[in-house]
Amino acid sequence: MTAGRGFIALAALILAKWKPVPVMLACLFFGFMEALTVQIQGVIKLPSGENIPVQFIQIIPYVLTIIVLAGFIGLSRAPKALGIPYKKG
């Protein structure tokens, strides 16, 4: 039902280093890429005049996500308390 958007949301979280405002900006960027793929279907053509297959256009957000994360994965660290339940002191 989510069509891979959970993967992109997790990538946005990692890219933004678990900070709320950068996460929002990363999600807007990835959302823009998703919307762009819908808009360019049937518009961009091969040099022979044929349309590019829709499947190749639909993979653009996922390929872009992998490329962006390949450059930033080493710079991002998860919070130390991730997954540990909070106990009120």
Give the pLDDT confidence score for residue 23 in this predicted structure. 92
Give the pLDDT confidence score for residue 82 in this predicted structure. 82
Higher-confidence position of 4 and 71: 71
Asked if residue 1 has pLDDT above 70, the reply is no
Nearest alpha-carbon partner for 36 in 25, 47, 44: 44
Give the pLDDT confidence score for residue 25 in this predicted structure. 93
Q: Which residues pair with 51 in a beta bridge?
A: 45
DSSP line for 32-50? HHHHHHHHHTTTSB-TTSP
Q: Break the chain into its structural domains and give their ranges.
A: 5-75
Mean pLDDT of all residues belonging to the chain? 84
